[in-house]
Amino acid sequence: MSDYALFIDYKYCTNCHVCEVTCRTEHNIPLDEWGIKVAEMGPVKLNGKWMWNYVPVPSDLCDFCADRRERGEDPTCVHHCLAQCIEVIPVDQITERMKLAGKTATVFIP
């Protein structure tokens, strides 16, 4: 198990797809596969309020940019995220960060 995780607070995701493109470029992933994919949820009306979310979701092809991590660099999706909604955090901080983020966060542990 990794000592670090990808913490994704999708409340700030703007659906720019930079994480997808940079991951594909970094790892030479074919166009019909994804290392990370932005899932679109919505629009849906809940309790009289319209909701529309974009959620970056790492796939099985995500290796947490092992070569970049070995060099002390962030994964390419983290490095290039324009909204800064993806970050690397220590696993022991997941619970605290989830409490702060509320309902708009997810975690990926490689």
Domain ranges of the chain: 4-108
pLDDT at 38: 97
Angle at 55 between CA 35 and CA 32, to 5 degrees: 35
pLDDT in single tens digits along all 110 residues of the chain: 479 999 999 999 999 999 999 999 999 999 999 999 999 999 999 899 999 999 999 999 999 999 999 999 999 999 999 999 999 999 999 999 999 998 889 999 98
What is the number of other CB atoms lying within 10 angstroms of the CB of residue 6?
Answer: 24
CA 39 from chain center: how many Å? 11
Q: Look up residue 66 and give its amino acid.
A: A
Peptide bond before 110: cis, by omega within 30 degrees of 0?
no
DSSP assigned state of 107: E
Q: Could you tell me if 74 and 68 are in contact, meaning their C-beta atoms sit under 8 angstroms apart?
A: yes
- The CATH number for 4-108, chosen from 3.30.70.380, 3.40.50.300, 2.60.40.10, 3.30.70.20, is 3.30.70.20
pLDDT at 102: 86
pLDDT at 58: 96
pLDDT at 6: 95
pLDDT at 103: 87
